Amino acid sequence: MDISKLNGVAKQMVADGKGILAADESTGTIEKRFAKISVENTEDNRRAYREMLFATPKFGEFISGVIMYDETFRQSASTGEKFTDLLVREGALPGIKVDMGTEAMADSPEEKLTKGIDGLPARLAEYAQLGAKFAKWRAVITIKGTDLPTDANLEQNALDLATYARMCQEAGIVPIVEPEVIMDGPHTQARCEAVSEKTLRAVFNAITEQGVALEGMILKTNMVVPGTESGEKASPAQIADATLRVFQKVLPNELPGQAFLSGGQSEVEATANLNEMNKRGPFPWKLSFSYGRALQDSALKTWQGKAENVAAAQQAFLKRAQLNSLATHGKYEGEK
């Protein structure tokens, strides 16, 4: 394991003013996104959509890497150039989602565990050969009253994340470790804060036990926000305060960076909340972004599956990337 090489890639992923595009929607997930714009979910349409994003001129100035789904990772642009090569040319690192989705936990069916550990070393070796520089594995943490999450669920998800991270590093790939405390539900922001802290403690304990090099990984987790059905509204300042309280208690200083997931926040909310946190910096670790919908929504709505809309859609994507870049410096001043 070449820790210095892993550390170099991890630092690139959270380089100044840059974040990660999460374009790793599964075929089922992209179908839901396409349905909203009445675009048929065919392989060619999926390829055309990703090409629109990846071929955006100068997006590499603001995007350090792109997480892809297996199908996308193996696809090529309409010019015949492999997507992985296109990204490298633009200055973005190719990344791959390696988890295989979630399943109900046997002893607690309302909670989820993530599939994909079996056979993972062989898959990672292939992805490394195909050009992957980093990977992603997502664990889903559900809040329900005071009963969920259970300790057993937190511990198993933490172990799986740490096992995946160790396997990645052994394959020469930087792991993005993504424990997501889901914002769905009626829970308060205070409950989200408590669960987020407990989740991250479990994850970093497991990472230490599994011998994962902290310098060669990136964290991707949620902001501390109220549940979507709580009726509670938190300001960017309140979200920043709560999230940073957790991070300053739990995140090791050796960690190169934390790239937030947007988790259902709107494009503007995700940018404003990231900005508010970076206004409080500097911190021992970079605070960046790894957004999916919060980078793509405007571009997707503009694109509408039509070739004549590609340039306008690319401008919409570039604008969001640039605004989030400003937010990594705490210099976002609202929508313009």
- Does residue 241 surpass a pLDDT of 80? yes
Residue 171 placed within a domain = yes
Mean pLDDT of 265-279: 97
Which amino acid is present at 93? L
Q: Is the distance from CB of 158 to CB of 203 less than 8 angstroms?
A: yes
- Does residue 185 surpass a pLDDT of 90? yes
- Does residue 1 surpass a pLDDT of 90? no
Residue 159 placed within a domain = yes
Catalytic residue status for 209? no
Residue at token pair 């999450």: 149
**The pLDDT of residue 129:** 98
Q: Is the distance from CB of 215 to CB of 176 less than 8 angstroms?
A: no
**The pLDDT of residue 266:** 96
What is the end-to-end Cα distance of the chain in Å, rounded? 45
- Does residue 276 surpass a pLDDT of 80? yes
**The pLDDT of residue 17:** 98
**The pLDDT of residue 187:** 97
Domain of 234, in residue numbers: 3-328
**The pLDDT of residue 31:** 97
Mean pLDDT of 271-280: 98
148: which strand partners? Answer: 144
Residue 15 placed within a domain = yes
Q: Is the distance from CB of 181 to CB of 223 less than 8 angstroms?
A: no
d(CA 324, CA 69): 23
- Give the pLDDT confidence of 78-133 residue by residue, as tens digits: 999 999 999 999 999 999 999 999 999 999 999 999 999 999 999 999 999 999 99
pLDDT category of residue 15 using cuts at 50, 70 and 90: very high
Mean pLDDT of 139-144: 98
Residue 87 placed within a domain = yes
Catalytic residue status for 308? no
Q: Is the distance from CB of 244 to CB of 281 less than 8 angstroms?
A: no
Query: Of 178, 180, 197, 267, which residue is the catalytic one?
Result: 178
How many domains in the chain?
Answer: 1
Which amino acid is present at 283? F
Nearest to 306, CA basis, from 35, 33, 48: 48
Mean pLDDT of 256-265: 96
Nearest to 168, CA basis, from 199, 139, 137, 138: 137
d(CA 136, CA 65): 12
**The pLDDT of residue 336:** 75
Burial class of residue 81, CB neighbours in 10 A (0-12, 13-18, 19+): middle
Residue 20 placed within a domain = yes
Label residues 223-242 b or e (16+ Cβ within 10 Å = b): bbbbbeebebebebebbbbb
What CATH number corresponds to the domain at position 51? Answer: 3.20.20.70
d(CA 331, CA 321): 14
Residue 336 placed within a domain = no
Do the bridges between strand 63-68 and strand 19-23 make them parallel or antiparallel, or are there none, so unpaired?
parallel
Q: Is the distance from CB of 221 to CB of 180 less than 8 angstroms?
A: yes
Mean pLDDT of 159-186: 98
- Give the pLDDT confidence of 39-85 residue by residue, as tens digits: 999 999 999 999 999 999 999 999 999 999 999 999 999 999 999 99
Residue 319 placed within a domain = yes
- State both tokens at 235: 């300001």
**The pLDDT of residue 299:** 98
Q: Is the distance from CB of 73 to CB of 103 less than 8 angstroms?
A: no
- Give the pLDDT confidence of 2-12 residue by residue, as tens digits: 999 999 999 99
Which amino acid is present at 19? G
**Continuous segment of H or E residues that includes residue 84:** helix 83-90
> What count of residues does the chain have?
336
d(CA 238, CA 244): 10
Query: Can the peptide bond before residue 94 be classed as cis, meaning omega within 30 degrees of 0?
Result: no
Number of Cβ within a 10 Å radius of residue 206: 23
Q: Is the distance from CB of 275 to CB of 332 less than 8 angstroms?
A: yes
Query: Of 18, 112, 133, 220, which residue is the catalytic one?
Result: 220
108: which strand partners? Answer: 105
**Continuous segment of H or E residues that includes residue 105:** strand 102-105
State the chain's maximal CA–CA distance in angstroms: 54
